[in-house]
Amino acid sequence: MKGIYRFINTNIPTMGCNLRCEYCYIRQHGDEDSVLKIDTSKNLFKYSIEHMIKALTIERLGGTCMFNISGSGETMLCPDIVKIVKGILDNGHYVAIISNCTISSVIDELIRFSDMEKKRIFIKASFHYRALKQKGILELYSSNIKKIKEAGIAFSVEIVSSDYVLDDLDELKKYSIENFGALPHVLGGRDETTPGKYGELETKLEKKEFYKIWSSFDSDLFEFQYSEFLKPLDNMFCYAGDYTGSLDLGTGEFYSCPGGMKITNFFEDIEDKVVFFPVGRTCPFPFCFCGFFLQVLAGVGREEYNPKYVFSMFRDRICTDGSTWLNTNIRELFSHRCSEYHEDLTFEQKAYITCLRKQIQTAKDLVSSQAFLKEIIVNKLKSNGIRQIAIYGDGKLGKWFKNMIDGSDIKIKYIVDRKYEENVGKYTANVAEIRDVDVCIVTPFADYTQIAPMIRSKNPTLRVIAIQDLMNM
Ligand code: SF4
Ligand code: SF4
């Protein structure tokens, strides 16, 4: 079985949720009524499922990926979920589904998949004990877990460390042992709304008391989060945007990590490869708040962030009867990191990515403080036989790139931008006019998948590359 080359966090447009958990993040943000309302009348996908599946091939993505599918509400309420899972599996990838495991009709369809397909599925079964009890569907949940296990699909039962469930913990533990053969894993509930506390573990308990209660579940997931949650990043080079990222299945937009910036669109130009773009040393956050999968499974920090954990420790349990929650295949996959299947980038590649990202994130002109990079860029172009170029886009990054090249023996023959109404010197709006250049470098990187096909349609022989891809030539 091939390892996970990229872990794609995949957001499916929600159709709402059948539960109302007190600790739901959507409640924290106050838009529960609109987001969790079940409304199946809208088509929330911009592209057809056939188009999306065609875009998500191993060839375009560079290797076998795991698509970690979740909705903002209940994932399995999406009417197309089975078709999407099937399509991704048919492409040769793995699928993880985050679900409250109460939508039996979908689970029944999944367990009818072939054994080969079921071996490549993992279900993260969120166990919302109070909400299930209140709705009278606790038994429905546990019977679905039994069906999943009997079908040979890997799963993990997980609860959130919420103050709301403290009164029920003894009966929750007893129920779990009796029905799932082991205690659930514990995910630290985060505070997303209190100023100054963003991402911290949410509780009114004293730290010591909080730890004592939740460590009684003996969950490595909880231990990891408790000890690593607020670990500073120390200028770490982060590979999110390359080894992992967040895909919005509704639009195809792909972001470097949850809360990070859009870097491309998977569905716009599906004849071309996807250009990934790591974060480098420009993480905008004080700590890696989803490190339990970004660091431990994707390995975004490589050797610079090396906790003693592997992801299978956060998902597996040995049951009272000796069976396990993970099957052999998924345990093996979850015992490695995506980083193991990628070469580390060179010093030059890392420097370029970080400087480029820093320029995106600031209004200041950074060229003078990044002077060392000029030589790296010019040498790269020259070593690829490039002497004359066109720059597409005369915005912040276009100007940054021009300043990097100016003064060298690489000639900028054209600067192309829609804002130029008539051609003056090298400035033009018309890509069809571009002649005698070795390459056209597209600088609005997030829109490359719209711009590149437009350029190719007007100037088919012109070589076009994205600015973020330059050091990969
Ligand atoms: S099941 Fe998930 S989405 Fe639904 S209310 Fe509970 S926490 Fe929110
Ligand atoms: S939060 Fe983590 S994964 Fe995201 S950019 Fe920062 S270090 Fe990278």
Residues 331-347 have pLDDT tens digits of: 999 999 999 999 999 99
Quote the radius of gyration of the chain (alpha carbons, Å): 24
pLDDT, residue 107, reads 98
Kindly identify the ligand whose nearest atom is closest to the C-alpha of 299. Answer: 2
Token pair for 336: 């490695």
In a domain, 127, yes or no: yes
On whether both 361 and 277 belong to a single domain, the answer is: no
State the distance from the centre of ligand 1 to the C-alpha of 22, rounded, in angstroms: 9
pTM of the model: 0.95
Residue 116 pLDDT:
97
**Residue among 63, 66, 103, 65 at smallest CA distance from 82:** 103
HSE, CB side, 13 Å, CA atoms: give it for residue 300: 32
Which atom of ligand 1 is found nearest the CA of 26? 8
Pocket test for ligand 1, best of 20, 75, 78, 128 (most atoms within 8 A of CB): 128
- Are both 442 and 388 inside the same structural domain? yes
**How far is ligand 1, taken at its centre, from the CA of residue 41, in Å?**
21
Q: From start to end of 244-371, where are the E strands? A: 244-248, 253-255, 262-265
Given a cut of 70, the residues of the chain with pLDDT beneath it are 27-29, 304
- Which SS3 state, helix, strand or coil, does residue 98 take? strand
SS3 370: helix
Same domain? For 104 and 242 the reply is yes
**Of 290, 314, 340, which one is at a domain's C-terminal end?**
340
Q: Does residue 225 sit in helix, strand or coil? A: helix
Same domain, 281 and 382: no
d(CA 180, ligand 1 centre) in Å: 21
367 lies in the same domain as 460: yes
The residue contributing the CA closest to ligand 1 atom 3 is 73
Please give the pLDDT value at position 27: 67
Query: What φ, ψ does residue 254 adopt, rounded to 5°?
Result: -125, 125
Residues 335 and 198 grouped into a single domain: yes
Whether 1 is in a domain gets the answer no
What's the CA gap between 278 and 431, in Å, rounded?
29
Do 139 and 227 lie in one domain? The reply is: yes
The ligand whose atoms approach the alpha carbon of 16 most closely is: 1
- State whether 140 and 249 are in the same domain: yes
What pLDDT, in 10s, does the model give residues 76-121? 999 999 999 999 999 999 999 999 999 999 999 999 999 999 999 9
Residues 16, 40: one domain?
yes
Assess if residue 326 is contained within a domain.
Answer: yes
244-248 and 253-255: which strand pairing? antiparallel
Q: Which residues pair with 441 in a beta bridge?
A: 391, 465
d(CA 362, ligand 1 centre) in Å: 37
Dihedral (C-alpha) 338, 342, 348, 351: value to the nearest 10 degrees? -10
Is the domain of 331 the same as that of 351?
no
CA–centroid distance, 312 to ligand 1, in Å, is 24
Contact 462, 440 (CB under 8 A): yes
CA of 213 to the centre of ligand 2 (A): 29
> Ligand 1 pocket: which of 76, 100, 141 to mutate (most atoms <8 Å of CB)?
100
371 and 318 within one domain: no
- How many structural domains comprise the chain? 2
Nearest to 246 by CA among 53, 72, 410, 419: 72
Residue 257 to residue 21: CA distance in whole angstroms: 26
Last residue of a domain, one of 290, 307, 340: 340
- CB 283 less than 6 A from any atom of ligand 2: yes
Query: Does one domain contain both 355 and 435?
Result: yes
Q: Is residue 162 part of a domain?
A: yes
What are the C-alpha distances in Å from 63 to residues 6, 91, 170, 298?
7, 11, 45, 14
Q: Report which ligand 2 atom has the smallest distance to the Cα of 291.
A: 2
CATH number of residue 439's parent domain: 3.40.50
**Full domain range(s) for residue 413:** 347-472
Best mutation site among 11, 12, 18, 19 for ligand 1 pocket (most ligand atoms within 8 Å of CB) = 19
340, 360, 390: which is the final residue of a domain? 340
